[in-house]
């Protein structure tokens, strides 16, 4: 029977990591999967995470099940980080939440929940979006279509197109948004533009699903939560799928959170539906990463140390963006790549062709996805000039 299974296409982002590992060249550069690397090319465990793990090792006296929707302290603390203490408290009677298997698990749970509420829904996603959004929608057989988001000519958000498309969305549909640090483009609406987006969404009656995978990687923990907080404040219902993979650097621990804001009368039912979906999928969500996060957020000293390490990562990415934009300007004699310095988050699309992406990999050992998305956090001050040289050479040749 198992012979009847069809072959599966490799995930394009993860396949790149495997190809990179198999490449014997020493000066190769991996700008594929979204993982932060320091100047030595390592993805270290954060100091506060190590300290929290030590504390858990010393004091934890049981591994008995928590709740079907995860540890309440984790949910409360992470909700506070995402919404800010004041708004989290104000909305508390309206919030249901569940710990999830990473940010991906939160997105999947959100979509399953939305479909259970409205089996007729269509999900609208940005063009382009994180490819796994579409993989999940296809697996769940949820009808989906894109809305305009990115203007490739300027490498900025196509706000007019986005607002026009969102205005057509029906009540009962879901609009999937990137809360900050848009993946794959790096182009993000300004706060004023988010106000306009929220206004259009409010008119349509669509349910926003905010994917917040990079809080703290763009303009800072507070600024990166701006859009999420705005939507949570202004709209009657919102889903928020958050990830701790990147900002706590606990990728493999699979730690995320789904928050749902609904009317207060509906909250208990929303919570019960999250619990029921978890039960049929995997029973209890993983707890180790969640406990690390709540241990850090509950302790002022650990929290301050985590924030300062996160801020160093963020500022180093901004420096790399400035450096790359400047070196490309110098080598190409044009401002074509200046958007790299304006973008935020781990990614930007260079805007070179798929053939040039192939050439960069084959001739220079520089790995990026076919859409020319580069992981800025995979660079360092030594590799930026190599990338700039290679890009300038391939575009000069064609
Ligand atoms: C990425 O887009 O590279 C990251 O979100 C990692 C992943 O799981 O794809």
Return the structure tokens found at 226.
């701006």
Residue from 15, 20, 34, 182 to probe ligand 1 pocket by mutation (most atoms less than 8 Å from CB):
34
Would you say 258 and 100 are in contact if contact means Cβ atoms under 8 Å apart? yes
Would you say 71 and 212 are in contact if contact means Cβ atoms under 8 Å apart? no
At 116 the pLDDT is 98
Closest C-alpha residue for ligand 1 atom 2 = 34
Residue from 100, 130, 245 to probe ligand 1 pocket by mutation (most atoms less than 8 Å from CB):
130
User: How crowded is residue 307: how many other Cβ atoms within 10 Å of its Cβ?
Assistant: 16
| Closest ligand 1 atom to Cα of 104 | 8
At 279 the pLDDT is 98
pLDDT tens digit sequence for 366-378: 999 999 999 999 9
Residue from 33, 376, 378 to probe ligand 1 pocket by mutation (most atoms less than 8 Å from CB):
33
Average pLDDT value over all residues in the chain: 97
Closest C-alpha residue for ligand 1 atom 1 = 34
For the Cβ of 183 lying below 6 angstroms from any atom of ligand 1, the answer is yes
Q: What percent of the chain has pLDDT over 90?
A: 98
**DSSP per position, 74-113:** HHHHHHHHHH-HHHHHHHGGGEEEEEEEHHHHHHHHHHHH
* Distance from Cα 97 to the centre of ligand 1, integer Å: 23
pLDDT tens digit sequence for 328-383: 999 999 999 999 999 999 999 999 999 999 999 999 999 999 999 999 999 999 99
d(CA 181, CA 245): 14
* Distance from Cα 90 to the centre of ligand 1, integer Å: 33
Closest C-alpha residue for ligand 1 atom 5 = 34
pLDDT class of 39 with cuts at 50, 70, 90: confident
pLDDT tens digit sequence for 235-257: 999 999 999 999 999 999 999 99
At 92 the pLDDT is 98
d(CA 318, CA 223): 15
d(CA 75, CA 77): 6
State the average pLDDT over residues 259-283: 98
Catalytic residue among 173, 211, 224, 287: 211
At 355 the pLDDT is 97
pLDDT class of 398 with cuts at 50, 70, 90: confident
d(CA 273, CA 289): 23
pTM for this one? 0.97
Reply yes or no on whether 213 is catalytic: yes
Which comes out higher in pLDDT, residue 340 or 40?
Answer: 340
For the Cβ of 31 lying below 6 angstroms from any atom of ligand 1, the answer is no
Reply yes or no on whether 130 is catalytic: yes
Q: What percent of the chain has pLDDT over 70?
A: 100
- E-strand spans in the chain? 29-30, 95-101, 123-127, 144-148, 150-151, 156-157, 174-178, 207-212, 238-243, 255-261, 347-349, 366-367, 373-375
pLDDT tens digit sequence for 199-242: 999 999 999 999 999 999 999 999 999 999 999 999 999 999 99
- For residue 99, pLDDT over 90 is answered with yes
State the average pLDDT over residues 269-291: 98
For the Cβ of 34 lying below 6 angstroms from any atom of ligand 1, the answer is yes
What contacts 52, CB < 8 A, 6 or more positions away? 291, 292, 295, 296, 299, 302
Task: Measure CA of the first residue to CA of the last residue in the chain; give whole Å.
Answer: 50
């Amino acid at each position: 029977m198992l012979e009847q299974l069809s072959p599966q296409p490799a995930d394009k982002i993860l396949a790149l990591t495997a190809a990179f590992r198999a490449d014997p060249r020493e000066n190769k550069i991996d700008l594929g999967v979204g993982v932060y690397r320091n100047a030595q090319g390592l993805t270290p465990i954060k100091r506060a995470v190590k300290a929290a793990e030590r504390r858990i090792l010393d004091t934890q006296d049981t591994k008995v099940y928590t709740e079907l929707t995860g540890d309440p302290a984790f949910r409360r603390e992470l909700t506070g980080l995402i919404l800010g203490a004041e708004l989290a408290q104000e909305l508390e009677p309206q919030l249901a939440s569940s710990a999830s298997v990473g940010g991906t698990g939160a997105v999947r749970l959100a979509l399953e929940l939305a479909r259970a509420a409205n089996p007729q829904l269509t999900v609208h996603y940005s063009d382009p979006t994180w490819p796994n959004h579409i993989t999940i929608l296809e697996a769940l057989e949820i009808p989906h279509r894109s809305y305009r988001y990115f203007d490739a000519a300027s490498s900025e958000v196509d706000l007019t197109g986005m607002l026009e498309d969102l205005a057509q969305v029906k009540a009962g549909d879901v609009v999937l948004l990137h809360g900050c640090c848009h993946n794959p483009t790096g182009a993000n609406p300004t706060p004023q533009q988010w106000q306009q987006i929220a206004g259009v969404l409010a008119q349509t009656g669509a349910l926003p699903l905010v994917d917040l995978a990079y809080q703290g990687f763009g303009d800072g923990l507070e600024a990166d939560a701006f859009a999420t907080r705005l939507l949570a404040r202004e709209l009657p219902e919102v889903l928020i799928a958050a990830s701790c993979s990147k900002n706590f650097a606990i990728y493999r621990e699979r730690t995320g959170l789904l928050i749902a804001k609904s009317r207060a009368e509906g909250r208990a039912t929303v919570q019960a539906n999250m619990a029921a979906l978890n039960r049929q999928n995997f029973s209890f969500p993983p707890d180790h990463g969640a406990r690390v996060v709540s241990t850090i957020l509950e302790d002022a000293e650990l929290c301050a140390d985590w924030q300062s390490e996160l801020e160093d990562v963020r500022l180093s990415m901004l420096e790399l963006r400035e450096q790359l934009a400047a070196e490309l300007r110098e080598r190409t004699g044009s401002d074509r790549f200046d958007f790299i310095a304006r973008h935020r988050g781990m990614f930007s699309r260079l805007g070179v062709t798929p053939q040039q992406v192939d050439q960069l990999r084959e001739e220079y050992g520089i790995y990026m996805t076919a859409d020319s998305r580069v992981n800025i956090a995979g660079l360092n001050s030594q590799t930026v000039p190599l990338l700039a040289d290679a890009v300038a050479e391939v575009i000069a040749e064609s």
